[in-house]
Each structure stands twice: as structure tokens, then as C-alpha cells.
């Protein structure tokens, strides 16, 4: 192991269940190795942070409301493949439950508990019509890409 502290920063761009799961597994794995872990949620990935379980029209203009509604909440994340209108992720969650693997939301809570930093992208919130109130309370900060780049400096970065 290196002597200097390691750092892992993940741009959580995708709102797909399987990709979000991969991001959370990496985040928790990084914390298990005592890496500094920064998660930057942007675009469809903002969905992972949404407070509401159901789908609701958001604020803002028509298209923003549409994006908000169609994306659903953090318990409605689709699979990137074989989604079948939401049946795919439900069946995958069923398998995971039987095998005692936490789902995205449980892993996100673990990551937060383990000290991962949770950042929401201000530009994407602006474009997608997502407000601070729509997101879970455990967010470290709402920041721009500059802050993310500064925080990620010198470490590994993933775009998921």
C-alpha cells in the first residue's frame, strides 16, 4: 500500500440501476480501503439522490417537469439493459435480496455512513429542474464542476 492517502472520485452520471450499483460498490470498496471518496451526482445520476419514492412532476419548464417525472425517484431506477418497463430491476433486486446484497439505496446509505462525500451538480440540477428539496438530506454540498475537479485532484476518477 502507498503511504500517502488514496483518493477515488466518481462522476455518477447514469441513473441506471446497474450502473448506480457499480458506482456504490466502488464507493464502499474505496472507503473500506480508507480512500477519500467523492461522489459527484450529475444529470440522470441526480435521480439516485431523489428523496421522493414515486414519480412526480418537478418545478420549472415543461421539459424539466417531463425529465423529472420520467426519471422517477431513487427507487425507480431502470436497468441499462433488459429493463422491461421496470420488471428487470425488480427481479434483480429480488435476486440480490435473496443473496443478502444491498441495493443501490442501501449501499448509498452505507457509503454516507462510511464517510463518502456526496456532491450534487448545480448545473445539472438547473437544467433538469431538480431543487435542493427534491434531494436527500445527507448531501455534503451542491457544487459546480470546478469544486469537483479540485476535490478529485491527484486521485483516481471514474465516469459512470
Residues that bind a second copy (CB under 8 A): 1-2, 6, 8, 11, 13, 15, 18-19, 22, 25-26, 29-30, 32-33, 35, 42-44, 60-64, 66-67, 70, 80-82, 91-92, 94-96, 98-99, 101, 123, 126-127, 145-146, 148-150, 152-160
Minimum distance from residue 148 beta carbon to a second copy (Å): 8
Which residues fall within 8 angstroms of residue 103, CB to CB, at 6 or more apart? 21, 93, 96, 97
**Residue for grid cell 452505507:** 110
- What is the smallest separation between the CB atom of 137 and a second copy, expressed in angstroms? 26
Q: What are the CA-CA distances from residue 31 to residues 24, 111, 148 (Å)? A: 11, 7, 18
Instruction: Give the phi and the psi of residue 55 in degrees, each rounded to 5.
Output: -95, 135
For a second copy, the closer CB: 70 or 137: 70
Report the DSSP beta bridge partners of residue 157. 9
Taking the least distance from each CB to a second copy, the nearer of 114 and 137 is 114
Amino acid at each position: 500500500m502507498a503511504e500517502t492517502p488514496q483518493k477515488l472520485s466518481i462522476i455518477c452520471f447514469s441513473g441506471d440501476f446497474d450502473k448506480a450499483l457499480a458506482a456504490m460498490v466502488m464507493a464502499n470498496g474505496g472507503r473500506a480501503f480508507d480512500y477519500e471518496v467523492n461522489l459527484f451526482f450529475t444529470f440522470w445520476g441526480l435521480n439516485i439522490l431523489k428523496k421522493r419514492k414515486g414519480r412526480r412532476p418537478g418545478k420549472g419548464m415543461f421539459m424539466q417537469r417531463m425529465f423529472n417525472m420520467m426519471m422517477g425517484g431513487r427507487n425507480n431506477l431502470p436497468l441499462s439493459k433488459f429493463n422491461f418497463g421496470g420488471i428487470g430491476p425488480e427481479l434483480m433486486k429480488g435476486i440480490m435480496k435473496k443473496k443478502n446484497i444491498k441495493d443501490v439505496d442501501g449501499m448509498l446509505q452505507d457509503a454516507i455512513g462510511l464517510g463518502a462525500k456526496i456532491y450534487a451538480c448545480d448545473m445539472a440540477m438547473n437544467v433538469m429542474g431538480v431543487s435542493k428539496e427534491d434531494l436527500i438530506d445527507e448531501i455534503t454540498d451542491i457544487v459546480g464542476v470546478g469544486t469537483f475537479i479540485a476535490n478529485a485532484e491527484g486521485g483516481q476518477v471514474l465516469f459512470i
